Amino acid sequence: MTGESSPAGLWITLEGGDGSGKSTQAALLETWLAGRGRTVLRTREPGGSDVGVAIREIVLHHRGDIDPRAEALLYAADRAHHVATVVKPALARGEVVVQDRYLDSSVAYQGAGRVLDGTEIRNLSLWATGSALPDLTILLDLDEGAARGRLDTSRTRYDRLEAEKADFHARVRSAFLGLARAEPDRFLVVDASGEIDAIAEAIRARVETALDA
């Protein structure tokens, strides 16, 4: 007797600057996938595991400076544990993982933003995760000025990265776009200044293709 095979797992990450709408689109994508009968694990970095919760508090809310290399190592430690204990088991179960931020954020924020070597930052994350890469990365691209305006209307307090100056966020955006150009098969770049529903539709179209692959 031959049973119907279970669907393969799919790993989707959402990237972009602060204020680009990642959390909103992740929630909409989760709802849409669940409506199609898929089991969805929605997670984030940092903070998607028990260990990650503690690391998130340090890297985003520590009062005082953190050396850029120490910050990069903290993110890599969070990533190593998160991928090993959360992401890989979910994929093995055939689930769709919808994740807010992954290694591309480290290359953009700790590499370009903190002016460290982006290749070293990427290689650190690849080592930490056994070279694990997502099937699809959605980059929500938004001008840093527009993103700041969104944050100003929705925040009363900024975390350590949100509070950085405009030139920091300009470097981050430029790095994200460079990463997308380097890996066009993995990335979908979406103009995040558009309407929420239009952005969600563009994301769904690409995800549907990935589900059918």
Q: Annotated binding residues for ATP, as ranges?
A: 16-23
Which residues have C-beta within 8 Å of that of residue 132, sequence separation ≥ 6?
Answer: 83, 87, 88, 126
Burial category of 105 from C-beta neighbours within 10 Å (exposed 0-12, middle 13-18, buried 19 and up): buried
Query: What distance separates the 2 farthest-apart alpha carbons in the chain?
Result: 63
Q: Where are the alpha helices (DSSP H) in 62-191?
A: 68-82, 88-92, 103-106, 118-129, 144-154, 166-182
Binding annotation: 16-23
Considering only CA atoms, which of 40, 34, 58, 175 is closest in space to residue 107? 175
Two tokens at 14?
């959402």
